[in-house]
Amino acid sequence: MEIDSSGWLAILKFLDKLVKCSIEGACVKGLSFRTAALNTASECLQILRYR
């Protein structure tokens, strides 16, 4: 399946918001939540790496 540039832009914006929300929420809640947020960021980067 081919994704055009506007599709990639939408995906990147979504992932950016997902990671920001995860990390911002994690900073308020504590260490275990930070770990979960970093795992989310790592998963997003893995998705992009293999596309």
| Average pLDDT per consecutive 10 residues, the chain (51 residues; last block may be shorter) | 77 78 64 72 73 57
Number of domains in the chain: 1
Give the alpha-carbon dihedral of 16, 18, 21, 26, to 10 degrees.
-110
Measured distance CA(19)–CA(45) in Å, rounded: 10
- Boundaries of domain holding 44: 22-51
Residue 38 lies in a domain: yes
User: Is 1 within the bounds of a domain?
Assistant: no
Q: Is residue 2 in a domain?
A: no
17 assigned to some structural domain:
no
Report if pTM > 0.75: no
In a domain, 14, yes or no: no
Instruction: Identify how many contiguous H helices and E strands the chain contains and give both numbers.
Output: 2, 0
Is residue 10 in some structural domain?
no
- Examine residue 42 and state whether it is found in any structural domain, yes or no: yes
